[in-house]
């Protein structure tokens, strides 16, 4: 299906007509096992393949500087996709391409509708802001199997934030809420594959001045976009690579081993510099924090630092504040502080999200 869809490349025009964004703009293709005039033979059962808004996603791939041949090779190569883990709360399954560049997520019908509804605004946003941190979508598809059950599988293809030569030692999913925002794993079982949450965060990430200013500008713009689209419940997914030894059995990294010269050399290396961008391959300092009270959103800084490389982006941007979320908010507000729960209206969510993120990420004012 991918080979057929990507191989059917037409001219890419950035100024797309409104009709290209119409949710009804989709292409069904039949793939019989014996092949057809337009499709190759295959060893699977009979299926139909649907491309949603193909012109839009083709242009998005162009904006995101994705080479069609490389994209096809990543998704359609001989190596099988890797399933990441069991379904989360959403019930979605996640798969990684063998080269780690792309992630495939199965979607509910409501999520597909949400993405199509916001697609025009999303397109305009990512076109206007090259360094946007919102999730990058490369394709939206559906496979319908032939036979009695006629099962449909809808899925989106996204960029993998953690595609890197560096090992991601810790990953955090940060929302700015506190209710239920801790991992359910005991300390001894936490590893590099554990997704930690807001109340597990024990660092303040200190960015160099120009990067911090760019970071704030972009988070402000991205949150403004999500608020306008009435989106809430999104997260900043953060991957941390520690540049130095790590005390895996303890709760903090070992003493940093990177000198000021090493850090400056890292930044002056042209081969390394060309790979650095907002949200990817960013050299930073992480200051260890300690929570003295359970009510503390961010712990107290300790003055202990280590050098890290950060990867981050805004994910889960397809949940709108619908009637279900409004009922969830009303119900939980009777039991808990309404500011601590995840399901709040988009304006409040955006404000709380930024308040938290700007405590977790701060300007590095010490040149040491």
Residue 75, pLDDT score = 86
Q: Which residues of 177-205 are buried (b: 16+ CB within 10 A; e: fewer)?
A: bbbebebeeeeeebeeeebbbbbbbbbbb
The string of pLDDT tens digits covering residues 180-193 is 677 878 888 888 88
Residue 368, pLDDT score = 47
Residue 291, pLDDT score = 86
Report mean pLDDT in 10-residue bins for the chain, 368 residues. 58 85 83 65 73 93 92 79 68 88 92 95 97 96 78 92 92 84 81 89 95 98 96 94 63 43 48 74 94 81 94 91 47 47 77 95 80
CATH code 3.30.800.10 region(s) in the chain: 2-159
Residue 326, pLDDT score = 47
CATH code 3.30.810.10 region(s) in the chain: 170-363
Place of tokens 């608020």: 227
Residue 248, pLDDT score = 39
| The CATH homologous superfamily of the domain defined by 2-159 | Phosphatidylinositol Phosphate Kinase II Beta (3.30.800.10)
The string of pLDDT tens digits covering residues 189-236 is 888 888 899 889 999 999 999 999 999 999 999 999 999 999 988 999
Residue 3, pLDDT score = 57
Q: Tell me the whole-structure pTM to 2 decimals.
A: 0.83
Residue 88, pLDDT score = 55
Q: 170-363, what's its fold? A: 3.30.810
β-bridge mates for residue 95, sequence order: 83, 104
């Amino acid at each position: 299906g991918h080979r057929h869809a990507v191989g059917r490349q037409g001219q890419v025009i950035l100024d797309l007509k409104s009709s290209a964004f119409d949710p009804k703009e989709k292409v069904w293709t039949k793939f019989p096992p014996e092949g057809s005039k337009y499709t190759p033979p295959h060893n699977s059962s009979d299926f139909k393949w649907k491309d949603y808004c193909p012109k839009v996603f083709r242009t998005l791939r162009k904006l995101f500087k994705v080479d069609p041949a490389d994209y096809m090779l990543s998704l359609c190569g001989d190596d099988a996709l890797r399933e990441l883990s069991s379904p989360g709360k959403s019930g979605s399954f996640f798969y990684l391409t063998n080269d780690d560049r792309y992630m495939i997520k199965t979607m509910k019908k409501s999520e597909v509708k949400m993405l199509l509804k916001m697609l025009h605004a999303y397109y305009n946003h990512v076109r206007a802001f090259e360094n946007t941190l919102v999730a990058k979508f490369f394709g939206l598809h559906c496979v319908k199997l032939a036979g009695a059950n006629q099962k449909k599988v809808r899925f989106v293809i996204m960029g993998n934030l953690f595609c890197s030569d560096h090992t991601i030692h810790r990953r955090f999913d940060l929302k700015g809420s506190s209710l239920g925002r801790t991992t359910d794993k005991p300390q001894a079982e936490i590893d590099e594959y554990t997704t930690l949450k807001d109340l597990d965060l024990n660092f303040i990430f200190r960015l160099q001045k120009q990067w911090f200013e760019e970071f704030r500008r972009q988070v402000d713009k991205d949150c403004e976009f999500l608020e306008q689209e009435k989106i809430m419940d999104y997260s900043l997914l953060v991957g941390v690579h520690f540049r130095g030894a790590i005390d895996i059995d303890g709760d903090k990294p070992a003493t940093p081993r990177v000198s000021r010269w090493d850090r400056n050399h890292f930044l002056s290396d042209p081969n390394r510099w060309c790979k650095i961008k907002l949200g990817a391959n960013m050299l930073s300092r992480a200051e260890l924090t300690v929570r003295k009270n359970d009510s503390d959103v961010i712990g107290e800084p300790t003055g202990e630092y280590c050098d890290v490389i950060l990867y981050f982006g805004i994910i889960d941007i397809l949940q709108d504040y619908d009637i279900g979320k409004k009922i969830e908010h009303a119900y939980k507000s009777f039991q808990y502080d309404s500011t601590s729960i995840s399901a709040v209206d988009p304006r409040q969510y955006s404000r709380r999200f930024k308040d938290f993120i700007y405590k977790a990420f701060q300007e590095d004012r010490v040149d040491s």
